[in-house]
Structure 1
């Protein structure tokens, strides 16, 4: 059995979160290829990304309270088994519509990893420790998108795009087994109401009535939405617009995990001297500056390298924001940590899907709409953080 707060425990938590990211990042290099096979336009193919996020967002609304009621472990096992089954189903898709349906079901299963990893961190660590743990966790998770596009690109070239979903199914089954035989229950002991619906409604009513909680949720969600807008459109921007071969897409995409890890580790380092709220402000301000630079970099026609420099700065800002913001979001409601994490995850994914879909719909085939969208998302994150700071009361331990 894996001991809580050990290095193995941290690696397992990272794997829980990373599975959902793998389903996005391994799939990215295959988007143009699948679109060509199914004769689907780019905006139709990007719908397979947005639907995945919306499904994960909707799934988390139920997953969080279920884990508060029945425990983290059984919900994780069921979710990963569902993810594996849907991934296998996607290998047989014969049209974009069928693939979208399997992606939706796949997202329901993947949702358990992200939301319950956050709840488990809150179960096991105090607030300041949770921020540092999330920073280290983010660094480990950052390795996933660093290698996932290379794996996806290799599988695409050697075995075809369907092999990507077969590999994801195997990963889901492996995680279900590890959780079943290696992870103990972390949910705090206490009364568990028999009426699931009443518990769900009461939990979300409590969260929706907390202005500070909602402001931190919006800060994290807008910051992530700007990042996801680039992720969703990166394959078409890098491969189609700038002409980078799919096999080399991973080299460009590596800017994201590297930047995110730099930001997360900077937050962990400076967190020894600065409070999490100050780091949150710094990260949001950095995203704003980088976001405003993105449209200028494209309009000045500096090429791919000039465009990726502010993208890297933006990602560093998000790497600072997410661990600190998640710790702030989870601080005030430890007894309903599952619901608190679920509401955050739902807002984060739903807002990201909506903003990325809007950017795709407004696109003229260039990265300009994507750049403008990212430039607008960053100030919204900073505004939300400033609202959370009004009448700031000390965060609980």
Structure 2
């Protein structure tokens, strides 16, 4: 099969299916988090060892994306996507049946390696099917679903634990993987025509990474999108300690703050999908990058002055939700810049987000400060680097893709 007919790509279910595939990663990361203590108790493992299953997933997810992107540029989206979903499904069985923490860690790595295909190729398929600025708008709508996943997944995981044990969370992921595999096999055609891949060598597909990394505008987009995501990772890592342990928020109050921020990201993605045709992707990236620096600067000042934390919540909200103005726009422009290697470009973007996110998460633990200072410092540094990336793109970039033209 080749590029889908227009009436198929215009149907709501087509984008909904792609969004559900993109949500596999966040869902698989967050769904089982409430079960971590129970896993350690049942498998006789320390909390630190069980936490390695989270680290293994992040590593496998990033490496999986880097592997599948170029492969799909050479062999097409459909067979690579189905293979990745099959790996995710089989590894989910391994997670479900794990008898030790070591088995779980290995299975989680393989599960993530398979899930990485769904994350990167759902974006690449959008770029294959939709022209110009419309692709960025569709990526924003998809990002609304991936923003919902971290909000709903821990709640769903907690409910599963009420009627099952920790293995129930992996049974849910197994069902999600199975349904995704069936639906993708039934409804997703090949979106990359043979004429665009038949002359691509596998070695040159992987070598595309070097070409992307040597390109100054591409580095700017990777830095902007990745560092904005890193600022959010710093917030996710540090906010429970800052708000619950230091400032005495109840678990309910913290959940409300977390939910409002996640809702803000969703709304920012929705606004981006509505405004990108009118204002353009580049101005919206600039707005988001500047707003992030302003918000996290104010956040740092408020923590330095040790004022009432309630004053900081607004700027924390603003510092987090700007990711909704950056992610879809940056990856859309990056794939537009490398049309022959869109899979590799999307993979490198996703891997940079998680790679920078892990660095930001680790930095929170080593920066000095008793209240929210380490979190604010890490967020501000990340947002400053994101703004630097935007300036790099503006200096060397080629501008906006046209809404009526194909990205190919």
For the criterion TM > 0.5, the same-fold answer is: yes
Q: Structure 1 194/276 Cα, relative in aligned 2: closer, same or farther at 3 Å? A: closer
Partner of 2:46: 40
Alpha-carbon deviation of 1:121? 1.1
Q: Structure 1 35/384 Cα, relative in aligned 2: closer, same or farther at 3 Å? A: farther
Structure 1 gaps of 5+ residues are none
Helix, strand or coil at the partner of 2:195:
coil
Structure 2 gaps of 5+ residues are 403-408
Partner of 1:267: 272
Q: Structure 1 167/226 Cα, relative in aligned 2: closer, same or farther at 3 Å? A: same
Q: Does 1:20 align with 2:30?
A: no
| Candidates 164, 167, 187, aligned match of 2:169 | 164
Q: Deviations over 1:34-57 (max 9, x none)?
A: 466656356x65543333222211
**Is 324-333 or 94-103 further displaced after alignment?**
94-103
State whether residues 56 and 107 of structure 1, in contact with CA within 8 Å, keep that contact through their aligned partners in structure 2.
Answer: yes
Instruction: Provide the rounded CA distance (Å) in 2 between the counterparts of 1:380 and 1:31.
Output: 33
The number of aligned residues is 395
Partner of 2:341: 336
Equivalences for 1:217-366 in 2 at 5 Å?
Answer: 217-234=222-239, 250-298=255-303, 300=306, 302-303=308-309, 306-360=311-365
Instruction: Provide the rounded CA distance (Å) in 2 between the counterparts of 1:394 and 1:360.
Output: 39
Equivalences for 1:9-88 in 2 at 5 Å?
Answer: 9-31=14-36, 34=39, 40-41=46-47, 46-88=51-93
Alpha-carbon deviation of 1:188? 3.0
Q: Deviations over 1:156-181 (max 9, x none)?
A: 33323322122111101110000011
Instruction: Provide the rounded CA distance (Å) in 2 between the counterparts of 1:208 and 1:214.
Output: 6
Q: Structure 1 324/192 Cα, relative in aligned 2: closer, same or farther at 3 Å? A: closer
Alpha-carbon deviation of 1:302? 3.2
Instruction: Provide the rounded CA distance (Å) in 2 between the counterparts of 1:306 and 1:168.
Output: 39
State whether residues 144 and 265 of structure 2, in contact with CA within 8 Å, keep that contact through their aligned partners in structure 1.
Answer: yes
Q: Structure 1 244/45 Cα, relative in aligned 2: closer, same or farther at 3 Å? A: farther
Q: Structure 1 280/360 Cα, relative in aligned 2: closer, same or farther at 3 Å? A: same
Equivalences for 1:129-140 in 2 at 5 Å?
Answer: 129-140=134-145
Alpha-carbon deviation of 1:107? 1.1
Instruction: Provide the rounded CA distance (Å) in 2 between the counterparts of 1:100 and 1:245.
Output: 32
Instruction: Provide the rounded CA distance (Å) in 2 between the counterparts of 1:156 and 1:150.
Output: 10
Partner of 2:153: 148
Alpha-carbon deviation of 1:260? 0.8
| Candidates 176, 187, 190, aligned match of 1:182 | 187
Partner of 2:112: 107
* TM-score in terms of structure 1 length: 0.88
Instruction: Provide the rounded CA distance (Å) in 2 between the counterparts of 1:394 and 1:93.
Output: 50
Helix, strand or coil at the partner of 1:169:
helix
State whether residues 287 and 313 of structure 1, in contact with CA within 8 Å, keep that contact through their aligned partners in structure 2.
Answer: yes
Instruction: Provide the rounded CA distance (Å) in 1 between the counterparts of 2:227 and 2:357.
Output: 7
State whether residues 74 and 200 of structure 2, in contact with CA within 8 Å, keep that contact through their aligned partners in structure 1.
Answer: no
Alpha-carbon deviation of 1:203? 2.2
Instruction: Provide the rounded CA distance (Å) in 2 between the counterparts of 1:372 and 1:166.
Output: 39
